[in-house]
């Protein structure tokens, strides 16, 4: 499965990082999709926290920064997206995609299913 996590208030939490790591260990493709702004050559420096977590968990360069655009525009081909933002969750679920968006707290239950 192709699984995406929001970063702020979601993947930045250690308990959610453990779940993401478990998905990776089971062979799932894990990405970070964040609304944060792209800042040219300074993106990696300014968003160091995202890149550090991605490297530590084994996500690597699977990072999408949406520059404050709605995330559903970036989730074509994904199966699941976990987020804390109800508005983004609703927009993703209302879009005409196969991706299902859930509140990050659902990750504990999803982990049991996948």
Question: Residue 114 has what pLDDT?
Answer: 60
Q: H-type helices in 8-84, by residue range? A: 14-25, 43-46, 48-57
DSSP, residue by residue, 27-78: T-EEEEEE-PPP-GGGHHHHTHHHHHHHHHHT-TT-EEE-TTS-GGGG-TT-
What CATH class has 2-113?
Answer: alpha beta
Sheet holding 63-65, edge to edge: 63-65, 29-34, 2-5, 80-83, 100-103
Q: Per-residue pLDDT for the chain (114 aa), expressed as one digit of tens each?
A: 999 999 999 999 999 999 999 999 999 999 999 999 988 888 878 889 999 999 999 999 999 999 999 999 999 999 999 999 999 999 999 998 899 999 988 776 666 656
Question: Residue 97 has what pLDDT?
Answer: 87
Q: Could you tell me the residue ranges of all domains in the chain?
A: 2-113
């Amino acid at each position: 499965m192709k699984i995406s996590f929001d970063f702020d208030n979601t993947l930045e939490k250690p308990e959610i990082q453990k779940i993401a790591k478990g998905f990776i260990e089971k062979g799932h493709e894990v990405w970070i999709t964040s609304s944060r702004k792209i800042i040219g050559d300074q993106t990696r420096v300014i968003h160091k926290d995202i890149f550090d977590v991605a490297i530590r968990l084994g996500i690597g360069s699977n990072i999408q920064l949406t520059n404050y655009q709605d995330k559903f525009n970036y989730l074509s081909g994904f199966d699941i997206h976990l987020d804390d933002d109800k508005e983004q969750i609703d927009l993703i679920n209302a879009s005409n995609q196969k991706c299902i968006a859930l509140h990050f707290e659902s990750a504990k239950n999803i982990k049991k299913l996948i």
